[in-house]
Amino acid sequence: MPTDYIKYQNIEYVMPFMFCNDLYIPLLAEFFKEEENPVKQVFGTLQTMWAGGRVTELLPTKIGTINAYLAKLSKYNIAAAFTFSNYFLNDEEVNDELSNQILDITSQYNCYYIVSSEKLYKHIKKRYPNAKMVCSVVIPFIKRLEGTFKETEFYNKMLDKYEIVVVRPEWTIENADNINNIISDPNRLEVLINQPCEYNCPNAKRHYNLLVQWGQKKITEEYLSEQEDLFCGARKLNSKPLMFDNSLMQKLINQGIKKYKLQGRTADFDYLFEDIYRYCINPKYSKEEIRNKFDFISARLIQNLPKSAVTML
């Protein structure tokens, strides 16, 4: 008999499981085996010149490893999205040999590419005209700090060239009652719903630049953390203003938004569990009940899956 674990019907989640915390992929597939798994896409990347945000060090950046990983992922009917979201790419970096090798192999798996560089967008589309492109939320986070920025107009323009456009949480909150009237195709918007940041963060560009430098081994993780302590207002907040609640989620669903993104690529299992429970699980099931079931499935998966260089997927 079908279960009813899913909290919201007919929506899709984009999760931070690729190349990190990827035990969640078979875990959720098993958990939702009697109903439609709401996780339709996972995102992440390895250390390359194109990488943006936090990258994983769990796997070496090798073509054979990526090929084996994507082959295993495909059996779960979940799409892969590579976070090639380095906003600061120059021409030399766009032509980076390793990054292009990754592009070539991933193109065979019909992957998505999350980009924030116009140079990289043009490069990928020239090489693979049918590549599925995602407009990174990094762009509006930075653009709004660089002068006059008409955000709604920007999103509509991006919908003309990208398959999916990721929107800032702040814009979403401010327009939650009107998105269907101001956006040409809300179905193709993707909303970031658990951003652990302050409202309209004034240091977004600086933070993204540091993350890129850290991902490319130009700065240490210790230096990154020290800088975050200095300028990251979110670390000093007692509240989390960009964590969407049930009321806001229902408004967005009513406005036609179907794609919801959870961040946390380098977060630990407990952190991710809290957000998965909050957004994905029917509240009639207690947190303890769901955690116990997750732990039971995880233990069985770890016991049965062979040891591999392709992590626990």
Question: Over 50: is that where the pLDDT of 5 sits?
Answer: yes
Q: Is residue 228 part of a domain?
A: yes
Q: 3-state DSSP call for residue 14? A: strand
Rg (CA), the chain: 19
Task: Share the mean pLDDT of the chain.
Answer: 87
Q: Does the residue 311 lie in any domain?
A: no
- Structural tokens at position 158: 């991006």
Tens of pLDDT along 55-106? 555 455 667 788 888 988 988 999 999 999 888 899 999 999 989 999 999 9
50, 83 in Cβ contact below 8 A? no
Tell me how many domains the chain contains: 1
pLDDT digits (tens, 9 = 90+) for 198-213: 787 777 677 667 776 7
Report in angstroms the alpha-carbon separations of 294 from 11, 72, 116, 311.
Answer: 22, 21, 35, 18
- Rounded Cα distance between 167 and 192, Å, is 7
Confidence band of 21 (pLDDT split at 50, 70, 90):
confident
Q: Which residues pair with 166 in a beta bridge?
A: 190
- H or E element in which residue 277 lies: helix 269-280
Q: Tell me what pLDDT residue 309 has.
A: 45
In a domain, 56, yes or no: yes
Q: Is residue 102 part of a domain?
A: yes
Q: List, in sequence order, the alpha helices (H) in 81-203.
A: 91-94, 97-107, 118-127, 138-143, 151-159, 169-174, 179-182
How many C-beta neighbours within 10 Å does residue 249 have? 20
22 lies in some domain: yes
What is the pTM for the complete model shown? 0.87
Determine the structural domain holding residue 53 and report its residue range: 12-304
What residue has token string 């976070």? 83
Evaluate whether residue 91 is within a structural domain: yes
**Kind of pairing, strands 79-84 and 112-115?**
parallel
């969407």: which residue's tokens? 244
CATH of residue 24's domain is: 3.20.20
Query: Is 6 within the bounds of a domain?
Result: no
The distance of Cα 65 from the centroid of its chain, to the nearest Å, equals: 21
Round to whole Å and give the CA distance between 95 and 123. 9
Handedness of CA 264, 33, 110, 56 (dihedral sign): positive
Residue 267 is assigned to a structural domain of this protein:
yes
Q: Which of 297, 179, 192 is nearest to 244 (CA)?
A: 192
Q: What is the pLDDT of residues 252-268, one digit of tens each?
A: 999 999 999 999 877 78
pLDDT tens-digit readout, 224-252:
677 766 666 555 665 567 899 999 999 99
